A = this chain, B = another copy of it.
Amino acid sequence: MNRRDFIRNTAVGAGALAVGGYSGSVRSSDDRPNIVIIMADDLGLGDLSCFGSTYIKTPNLDAMAAGGVKLTNFYSCAPVCSPSRSGVMTGQYPIRNGVITNFGPSRQLYSPFAPLVNKMGHGLSLSEITLAEALKPLGYATACVGKWHLGDYKRYLPTNRGFDQYFGIPYSNDMEPVVLLRDEEVIERPVDQDTLTQRYTREALEFIEKNQNQPFLLYYPQTFPHVPLHASGEFRDKSAGGRYGDTIEELEWSVGQILESLDRLGIAENTFVFFTSDNGPWYQGSPGGHRDRKMSVFEGGFRVPGIARWPGVLQEGLVSDAPAVNVDLFPTSVKLAGGTLPQDRVIDGQDLMPVLKGGATAHEAIYYCYHDNLQAVRKGKWKYHRRHKHWTTHTPERPRGPMLFNIIDDSEESYDLINLYPDKAAELEGIMKEWEKTLPKGPRRFRI
């Protein structure tokens, strides 16, 4: 079953739903939840009050965690932007879906990453199924607000990948030209970034209001706190965490506006909301006591906050240390929407709901890939970095493994214990080898 067939079959399978119409009347007999996924950009694990920050005040996210579930061992599937987003959109690790590094603006094909970019084309392969493509035929209204970063050629833009509408900067806010798109049209160039979060928020609220009577998917990948840092007047120079804190405090105000809107419209109890970040912190921000930052295979590159909210369904204030990954959002959402997963491909994600209800992780292991290399794996408290010829980190030491860390007790990954537990290292190497057998053969090329 290829992608087109999947989408057609899923739509038919949705049965009673008025596919194509998506009118409000559908909702009356439809208790499938709305899905809201909010993902900050380069926000660190330690940057929220509810994750220990003393510098940045995040009352809305704190309340979201207190009223829902906080995941303290939540992972991005990649330590950089495009790959991480590709995982949320497809439920697959980037090494499987082919988005192994960042896309630059299409005019920048000759970047230092050109060989990699050319290897993988210039957008998330059209043969992949996005979360929006999975939910739209099930009767979901779909919107993307924010940083897409999965291709800026027309055919790769959100409105051609299952989203009814799009509003945002199609890539990182430090990439030239910084343009604002509505659907597929450039409406502002350069973008006034100071007012961006305010406008993203308005767009999100309008979408929710318009679709309050039918199931919807709102995917809100924020532009900040990725540099350059911008905040609107009301938030500028207000945070004790400096300009970086300003952007996060405005971003989390934006989350608050969305949650408040769901409450006001009376649909909070029918809406699954998830907040996370795309990877570890970059120039600024706290990795929460972990080693390194964005672009590293150490925990600091991959560990991000995870907060879920679904009043009446999730237990208030639950804190789970079960490892989970942002690729889980795809199968979780598809299942909540009553759909079935594509059968012609491996989906790495696992249904998050058991973990969100206090259960154990469904992952045999957590995999750490960078570019097209599988470099490390975590199982339980053990993290094993295999020997490889690539970066573990960009710092000069570039330790190359093999290394074995107890990342529960040694969150800084400071003490390689491989001499004491060689069998554990061998076991984890074996798990990596088995998993690699499931990956596409040959170079993971752009598959249109």
Residues on A lying within 8 angstroms of B by beta carbon are 44, 46-47, 54-56, 237, 240-245, 281-287, 289, 292-296, 393-397, 399, 409-410, 412, 414-420
The complex is assembled from copies of this chain, and their number is: 2
**Residue in B closest to A394 when the chains form the complex, CB atoms:** B396
8 Å CB contact of A237 from B244, B393, B415, B420 = B420
For the complex, what is the distance from the CA of A170 to the CA of B241, rounded to whole Å? Answer: 46
A243 touches B416 (CB 8 A): yes
B396 touches A281 (CB 8 A): no
**Residue in B closest to A294 when the chains form the complex, CB atoms:** B397
B292 touches A242 (CB 8 A): no
A245 touches B395 (CB 8 A): no
A414 touches B243 (CB 8 A): no
Interface residues of A: mostly helix, strand, loop or mixed?
A: loop
For the complex, what is the distance from the CA of A293 to the CA of B398, rounded to whole Å? Answer: 12
What B residues does A243 contact at CB under 8 A?
Answer: 416, 419
**Residue in B closest to A296 when the chains form the complex, CB atoms:** B395
8 Å CB contact of A284 from B47, B240, B414 = B414
Check A410/B55 contact, CB under 8 A, given A242-B419, A293-B395, A394-B395.
yes
A46 touches B284 (CB 8 A): no
What B residues does A237 contact at CB under 8 A?
Answer: 419-420
Check A244/B44 contact, CB under 8 A, given A282-B397, A289-B289, A394-B395.
no
What B residues does A395 contact at CB under 8 A?
Answer: 292-293, 295-296, 393-395
B283 touches A415 (CB 8 A): no
A414 touches B295 (CB 8 A): no
Question: Which residue of A237, A282, A296, A420 has the most chain B CB atoms within 10 A of its CB atom?
Answer: A420
